[in-house]
Structure 1
Amino acid sequence: PRPVTPVIVPQTPVSPPRSTTPPPAPSVTATRTLPNTPAVPSSFIDPSEQIAPAGLEVQPGNQPIEELTAIAMRQELIDLLGRFENALIASNSGNIPINLQVASTQLTAGTGGSLASANFKKSDQIITKAREVIKNFPELVAQQNWTEARHQWLEIRQQLWQNYPTEGERLGAEIRAVWLDRGTIVKARSEAGLAQVFDRLAAAGINTVYFETINAGYPIYPSRVAPAQNPLIQGWNPLEAAVKLAHQRGMELHAWIWVFAVGNDRHNQLLGQPSSFLSPVIQAHPDWININNYGELRNTRDRKVYLDPANREARAYLMRLINEITAYNVDGLQLDYIRYPFQDPSGSYTYGYGKAGREQFQQLTGVDPVNITPKNHQLWNQWLQFKTEQVTSFVAEVSHFLKQQKPNVILSVAVFSNPEQERVMKIQQQWEVWAKKGYVDLIVPMTYAMDTNRLQRITQPLTQEQKLGSALISPSIKLLNISEIVAIDQLQSLRDLPTGGYSIFAVESIGNNLQNYFHRTQNHSSKTQPPIPYRQPFAAAHDRYLALKREWSFLLANEQLWIRDGELKSLSIQAEDLAQTLKQLEDNPSPQTLGIAQQKLATFQKQFQISMRLQALERPYQVSSWGNRLASIEMLLRYGERRIRN
């Protein structure tokens, strides 16, 4: 390995404890299991492994359809049809030249002609049939003709899926990210083997790779800081190779690291280690371990071992690792397991009772946290706040280090999408604070869902400015256990929301059909790669806006945009003016030009909603998705503002 000189991160000594010194942490050679340790049910699923179930499970038959179910079924078809149409528009509009003058003169009101070109007549027929089903569905339910209602619903859903548009280049700059997992890296066996993986990713149009660099306490590279490298890696340095391979193919390489989780029973099995082996890190530093309220060292639910986030020595160790990793010229750093283990809000199963955490909380309050429960309302809230702050302060520390030492390294966090209060109570992960305080560039929520409507419902609330501040968001799709067409539909749904792009988990689950879809739709024909939003936010904003203008031009040319002539003329002028300002901002970014662009975008958004009210009556999902995409441009400008002022 090439030499790496770590920065010496100062370690703040722990203040002497008060006279009521808490008992020492349990030995790492055995767990202290109390008689009432709760058994793990056989049906238990680790929350970190869960995927949100499908929102609707519709089966054929004559079962009654309740009113709320009927509303949900109809809405699901409306949304699916909207995504289908948006995918069809995107697949057809990419060939329209980027000529804003031509595009604006094409803005003439339509009369409701055929959306699809001659090559897409079948799609047009399916769209017409879907609208008929949506229109007739409430009447069938009212007549209690549930068999026919279910039959038509299932049939048209299947037809929409079977004929989903999967051709045509998808334009508009976006984060196209994928997690490259440890298993795939190990299977590569060499730089040559890893090159084949990167060749596939490049052919798929992926621009960001989250490369699993630390897993279960083991670095994938030969480290001078960590106790041991992953034993399954022999004779080569995957991190060094990955950085080179990614850059050769015009991709960014972000080091994905497990932060506070440093041991994993599954990994022990792969290495032939006994299940009693906790972690190479904990073996070297027993006092760093996080302990639950039963004195257990390994989490009996997810079978992982965690560091105590309050332990200053453990934090200093992690900072030295981060310094070592960023010396490899990585483009980004992604923090995963940046949290406490999952706990029960009732207090029956909680974490944080490592030696350092107990000492510091007792110094703060005079009370050993092992002696408090949720019944002690004020103290319990202090305990939750204390633990939450340990995680937040570490993110802030990493952010400060990168801004000072590696200002071009993008900081992202892989986080849970649970509501904020629930998340704080269960895992002490408050990423909204990290985003609003500017600690992180990119939020990557694990929005895993079995169907698209559930994905949209999970993701939509996360995209609001009051949650993100000036950060970007790239929601994620877990490919395991979902069909490829559902994955494609989920990609479309994320493109229809105000996001910065998408993240795919994981490389090992990308099959040939999905690989071919990516190649057809994301392998850009032009020699110039589109900008990556977190790297060039203003260029990405302009590029996204041009993609919208192409789609509007395509619809108008096909008489599919319902807008009055006078409003069309006014909107056209504003649209061209905004495009020119966004181009100026891309070419010569400055706070003044940014302010003008933000003002013009806000004005255009207001006019757009007024001008599109007729279109919204005919195509509500479509107009809503356009509004979301304009909001994503607003998000990019906020993010860009932070970058030019820092």
Structure 2
Amino acid sequence: MKHLQLALLLFFLGITAVFSQSQKGVWLTNVRSEALDSREGIETAVSNCKAYGIDHIYVVVWNRGHTLYPSEVMQETFGVKVMPRFAERDFLKELITVAHREGIKVHAWFEFGFSSSYKKEDGGHILRAKPLWRAIDHKGELVSKNGFQWMNAFDPEVQDFLLSLIVEVVNNYDIDGIQGDDRLPANPSTAGYDAYTISLYQKEHAGALPPSDYKDAAWIDWRARKLDLFAKKVYETVKAIDSNVLVTMAPSIFPWSKEEYLQNWPRWVKEGWVDAIIPQVYRYDIKSYEATLTANLEFISKKDREKFIPGVLLKVDDYIPSEDFLTQMIQTNRKYGILDEVFFYYEGFKDHPLFFKNTYPKL
């Protein structure tokens, strides 16, 4: 009955015809998932995506200080070509081959962005090898937030390193898109107190030091603008290599994204530096979901609304949304003319296989 109600809603909204042409995506990760650990796992994941009407896969290629694909950049810079777990095979190449065979697009998701490690007090092997790359907070310490340690996103050398990984993937793989998220481009708003960034600020402010209050509005704006320029550089660099490769970002919701991680993503959309923005509208009840969704839509002009794709929470740790709540979130998206969504993350499909089989048209 629930599936019939949703189908009727879509019919009366008059969007059934275009529904199959819009994007239905999912994030595929190596955390709490073994889908990428074998060719069989990849075949199963792609088969499930096809059965569930998913036509875009956002697959992790960078986390915990390692690429998950064999990288010459990592080999030359840090002497570690690939995350040891994936040392025997190139799963990215396998996934692209299998997914393309089924008409599914694959995006390289640079999950950790400017974060060097998770729960490593010294920032992991990257910052042990490159201590000058450390992001420094207002206390003079390595920036660490919510368990993640950070590189200095304002340092040109660090930016060039991240960009070189993106370029490597675009050059070496038949990829359909690349994606940053709430860590690319980003830095916690506590960052910016390293020698390089302070010097840069002083050059632009007649020798004055940055405010000691890291939440100072002008200081937030100044740092956010620096990261805006990196977002622009990523977009222009990718498009110069292959204009068909999509550049998408999946930041936190705004304005929290700017206040906490210096991500002023409405500007990225306005300036045309992204092909799609996929904010993480992760909420646990429909009232909060709708309020957050509509609040973020206010930052997007009508002409850019088609670039806005909500990120929908499908599973995290032990949390799984009910089928009723999933239905409500999709209905809410359609209510505001949004035809697309991307789900976090793939393993959540196992809890709702019939829902997805009966909700989305098949490829």
Offset, 1:356: 2.1
Is 1:311 matched up with 2:147?
no
- The structure carrying a bigger helix percent of its residues is 1
1:237 to 90, 96, 107: 90
| Counterpart residue number, 2:240 | 404
Offset, 1:264: 0.9
1:297 to 124, 139, 142: 142
Per the normalisation by structure 1, the TM-score is 0.50
Is 1:447 matched up with 2:288?
no
Offset, 1:416: 1.4
Q: Tell me the amino acid that sits aligned with residue 297 of structure 2.
A: T
> Residues 552-595 of structure 1: CA distance to partner in whole angstroms, max 9, x if unpaired?
xxxxxxxxxxxxxxxxxxxxxxxxxxxxxxxxxxxxxxxxxxxx
Q: Tell me the amino acid that sits aligned with residue 367 of structure 1.
A: A
Q: Which runs of 5+ in 1 are unaligned?
A: 1-82, 99-169, 266-274, 344-349, 530-646
| Counterpart residue number, 2:270 | 436
Q: Tell me the amino acid that sits aligned with residue 180 of structure 2.
A: L
- Listed as ranges, the matches of 1:57-72 within 5 Å are none
Offset, 1:217: 2.2
> Residues 417-442 of structure 1: CA distance to partner in whole angstroms, max 9, x if unpaired?
13x3x543332111111000001010
Per the normalisation by structure 2, the TM-score is 0.87
- Listed as ranges, the matches of 1:279-428 within 5 Å are 279-299=124-144, 301-327=145-171, 328-336=173-181, 337-343=183-189, 350-365=190-205, 366-369=207-210, 372-374=211-213, 380-418=216-254, 420=255, 422-428=256-262
| Counterpart residue number, 1:613 | none
| Counterpart residue number, 1:542 | none
Offset, 1:282: 1.7
| Counterpart residue number, 1:496 | 335
- The structure carrying a bigger strand percent of its residues is 2
Distance 1:196 1:425 in 2: 40
Q: Tell me the amino acid that sits aligned with residue 491 of structure 1.
A: I
Would you say the 8 A contact 1:412–1:441 is kept in 2? yes
- Calculate percent identity across the aligned residue pairs: 22
Would you say the 8 A contact 1:388–1:430 is kept in 2? yes
> Residues 489-523 of structure 1: CA distance to partner in whole angstroms, max 9, x if unpaired?
212221222224011000122224x2222122324
Q: Residues 414 and 317 (structure 1 numbering): CA distance in 2 closer, same or farther, change over 3 Å?
A: same
Q: Tell me the amino acid that sits aligned with residue 414 of structure 1.
A: A
Distance 2:156 2:220 in 1: 19
Would you say the 8 A contact 1:436–1:469 is kept in 2? no
Give the total of aligned pairs. Answer: 346
Q: SS where residue 290 of structure 1 aligns?
A: coil
Q: Tell me the amino acid that sits aligned with residue 83 of structure 2.
A: N
Distance 1:232 1:445 in 2: 30
Distance 2:37 2:66 in 1: 17
Q: Tell me the amino acid that sits aligned with residue 214 of structure 1.
A: W
Distance 1:174 1:476 in 2: 14
Q: Tell me the amino acid that sits aligned with residue 475 of structure 1.
A: P
Would you say the 8 A contact 1:287–1:355 is kept in 2? no
1:205 to 53, 58, 82: 53
Would you say the 8 A contact 1:262–1:306 is kept in 2? yes
Distance 1:255 1:394 in 2: 18
| Counterpart residue number, 1:515 | 353
Offset, 1:88: 4.7
Q: Give the number of the structure whose alpha-carbon radius of gyration is greater.
A: 1
Distance 1:323 1:188 in 2: 22
Would you say the 8 A contact 2:286–2:328 is kept in 1? yes
Q: Residues 450 and 255 (structure 1 numbering): CA distance in 2 closer, same or farther, change over 3 Å?
A: same
| Counterpart residue number, 1:627 | none
Q: Residues 207 and 516 (structure 1 numbering): CA distance in 2 closer, same or farther, change over 3 Å?
A: same
Offset, 1:486: 1.3
